[in-house]
Chains A and B, each alone.
Chain A
Amino acid sequence: MSKGDYLGEFEHIVLLALLRLGDGAHGALIRKEIEAVTERSPAIGAVHATLERMERKHLVSSWIGEPTEERGGKAKRHFKLEKAGVAALKQARVTFLRLSAGTALREQLA
């Protein structure tokens, strides 16, 4: 696995948010989900830039929806988690579990 294949922290968070929301989620929904779960308020530009970067890595895909009135007549970009994205999440989880196995992390966090 080359260096560019590993998930960054924010990429990891955005992918997990997309996994929780399911296919078809759009930027505002993903941003709100991250805010609700992590209690940090990411900028919408950072969310879109991260999703765009992951789209280039084929971890997610996107398509443009129809314009709606509640968005001032502007269209949504919907996102879908791809197989490579799921694999990257699994890899990150396995790495974390391997590294934390046998350490006192569980006791320290308890």
Chain B
Amino acid sequence: MKVPLIPQTLLSAVTPRSDYECIAGDLHEEYANLVRSYGRVHADRWYWSQVMRSIPALLASSRNDAANCRPAATWIKSACSLVTMLFFKDVLDRLFDVIHPDGPVRAPVYFILNWLIAAAAGALLASTVRDHPVRAAFFAAAALTAGFAVPILAGISSPLAPAAWLLLVGAVPAMCIGAATLHVIRQR
């Protein structure tokens, strides 16, 4: 009996290699029972639900180490880290627009908070790499680059501001993609 292809592919992308066979087998077993009892539509819906709800736990699993982690899992976690960072950055900017509605006056606390967000993003990214020393180095470099961009952003009226934003927003995903690609090459 064939399980739905898309969620199965998603599951194989995020599940640690050592666990995939057992988890996919468990889902297959229950899926087959549900098809017999309630029909394929109900079983498909259940399978989708199980896979989608399993993703956070599987991404966080400590079995996602150097030997078992799949590149797709790293990309998803890195993307989540980036979105989190951009969200907090946006909240911070909106807050300071309220505090300083007359112009781009940036208090020292804005600079410190920006740096903290960059550092938190670095920590989040580092937490996704676990035992991958090479990737950890890449992610640290990305966080550092973001950190260097912040002082330029502090003088937001400067013509360098767009370049600084590109550096801040572009460095992290570029490094993530580069690191994950390197991981794939090393595995081969």
- Within B18-50, the residues touching A (CB, 8 Å) are 19, 21-30, 32, 50
Asked whether, in the complex, the Cβ of B29 is within 8 Å of the Cβ of A28, the reply is yes
Q: Is A80 an interface residue (CB 8 A)?
A: no
Cβ distance A67 to chain B, nearest Cβ, rounded Å:
8
Cβ distance A33 to chain B, nearest Cβ, rounded Å:
12
Cβ distance B8 to chain A, nearest Cβ, rounded Å:
10
Q: Is B157 an interface residue (CB 8 A)?
A: no
Asked whether, in the complex, the Cβ of B22 is within 8 Å of the Cβ of A70, the reply is no
Q: Is B55 an interface residue (CB 8 A)?
A: yes
Asked whether, in the complex, the Cβ of A49 is within 8 Å of the Cβ of B26, the reply is no
Q: Is A48 an interface residue (CB 8 A)?
A: yes
Asked whether, in the complex, the Cβ of B29 is within 8 Å of the Cβ of A71, the reply is yes
Asked whether, in the complex, the Cβ of B54 is within 8 Å of the Cβ of A27, the reply is no
Cβ distance A69 to chain B, nearest Cβ, rounded Å:
10
User: Interface segment, A14-22, A38-46, A82-90, A102-110?
Assistant: A38-46
Q: How many A-B residue pairs have CB under 8 A?
A: 83
Asked whether, in the complex, the Cβ of B50 is within 8 Å of the Cβ of A27, the reply is no
Asked whether, in the complex, the Cβ of A45 is within 8 Å of the Cβ of B29, the reply is no
**0/1 per residue, A48-62, Cβ < 8 Å to B?**
111011001000000
**0/1 per residue, B45-74, Cβ < 8 Å to A?**
000001101111110111100000000000
Which chain A residues border B32 with CB–CB below 8 Å? 70
Task: Give the interface residue-count category, chain A.
Answer: 20 to 34
* CB-nearest residue of chain A to B54: A45
Which chain A residues border B62 with CB–CB below 8 Å? 52-53, 56
Q: Is B1 an interface residue (CB 8 A)?
A: yes
Bound CA–CA A46/B62 (angstroms): 12
**0/1 per residue, A85-103, Cβ < 8 Å to B?**
0000000000000000000
Asked whether, in the complex, the Cβ of A45 is within 8 Å of the Cβ of B57, the reply is yes
Which chain B residues border A70 with CB–CB below 8 Å? 28-29, 32
Q: Is B171 an interface residue (CB 8 A)?
A: no
* CB-nearest residue of chain B to A10: B57
Bound CA–CA A52/B32 (angstroms): 25
* CB-nearest residue of chain A to B2: A72
Asked whether, in the complex, the Cβ of A75 is within 8 Å of the Cβ of B3, the reply is no
Asked whether, in the complex, the Cβ of A72 is within 8 Å of the Cβ of B1, the reply is yes
Which chain B residues border A12 with CB–CB below 8 Å? none
Asked whether, in the complex, the Cβ of B19 is within 8 Å of the Cβ of A44, the reply is no
Q: Shortest 6 CB-CB distances between A and B: which pairs? A: A45-B54, A74-B25, A43-B53, A28-B26, A71-B25, A77-B22
> Apart from A44-B27, A48-B26, what are 14 other A-B pairs with CB-CB below 8 Å?
A27-B26, A28-B27, A43-B53, A43-B54, A44-B30, A45-B54, A45-B58, A46-B54, A50-B57, A70-B29, A71-B25, A71-B26, A76-B25, A77-B19
